[in-house]
Amino acid sequence: MSPAQPGAERRRRTSWARFAYLRPQEPVPRRVYLGTVTGSAVGLVALWCLLSYGGVVEPLFLPSPTAILAAGLDLARDGTLVQDMRASLAVIVSGWALAAVLAVPIGILMGSFKVVEALVEPVVDFVRYLPVSAMIPLLILYVGIGTAEKVAVIFIGTFFQLVLLVADVAAHVPHEQLDVSYTLGASRAQVVGRVLLPATLPGVMDTLRITMGWAWTYLIVAEIVSADRGLGYLILNSMRGLFTDRIFVGLVVIGGLGLVFDLTFKWLHRRLLPWSPKA
């Protein structure tokens, strides 16, 4: 074998090793994962800078990062941004938490017991197809314009979807696990508490993380329709004055808060559910 052949063979193996990262559901080294995440974020910001600073897109349609940063600092300096963030967070956490507390046990019961499914599913399937935005006039009529109305919008938008998703997670717990537990002498309560619930919780945590994103969507809809503060109100008010930089401030803040919630759920998943495959 010539001296050049080992080097060629090494390069060939390295090339195939890179393709190994594209195999479905295969883990990748942490440095590769973090490097890919960083490259994706840097690439997006670089494209943004190219389009804005290069004059490809007018500032009215795409403000530059520095313009958005300046607008954000102005809003933070006079307290507007903090006040709007606090108002939106209070509403979204209240509405989503109330929906989660009620929907998770109902969903687990619905997915585990056919009698509960027959009782609950028709109502859930009917209401979840109703557009939440179309119900806002009724909510204003019932509870008025204020925090309660926005909390109700988030609750209705997430509760029925969450019930169905959690029920689907509980229904897909392998029946063999339950049969083995009964064979080993476990009672029905033990099977539910020690087998069914632990097997369901990882999927429930993922469902909660997903529905939190939906809650932000419903929050903005509620605040655009009727609000005097909040990030949705900030975006709508900025649109009326064609303050595109302030609109982007609101969008960046919402995306940043959403990312924080998402990372928090992933951290809780690893800490609270060590038996989960994702942990």
pLDDT at 133: 81
Task: Read off the pTM.
Answer: 0.81
Nearest to 229 by CA among 114, 116, 146, 135: 146
pLDDT at 194 over 90: no
Confidence band, pLDDT 50/70/90 cuts, at residue 18: low
- List pLDDT tens digits, range 75-108: 999 888 999 999 999 999 999 999 999 999 999 9
DSSP string, the chain: --THHHHHHHHHHHHHHHHHTTSTT----HHHHHHHHHHHHHHHHHHHHHHHHTTSS-TTTS--HHHHHHHHHHHHHTTHHHHHHHHHHHHHHHHHHHHHHHHHHHHHHHHH-HHHHHHHHHHHHHHTTS-HHHHHHHHHHHH-SSHHHHHHHHHHHHHHHHHHHHHHHHHTS-HHHHHHHHHTT--HHHHIIIIIHHHHHHHHHHHHHHHHHHHHHHHHHHHHHS-SSSHHHHHHHHHHTT-HHHHHHHHHHHHHHHHHHHHHHHHHHHHH-TTSTT-
Quick one: tokens of 93?
């956490």
Q: Give me the percent of the chain exceeding a pLDDT of 90.
A: 42
Q: What is the mean pLDDT of residues 195-212?
A: 91
pLDDT at 180: 84
Confidence band, pLDDT 50/70/90 cuts, at residue 205: very high
pLDDT at 93: 92
- List pLDDT tens digits, range 222-271: 887 766 788 888 988 888 888 999 999 999 999 999 999 999 999 999 99
Distance CA 25, CA 161 (A): 27
Please report the domains of the chain, with CATH numbers, ordered by start residue.
65-272 (1.10.3720.10)
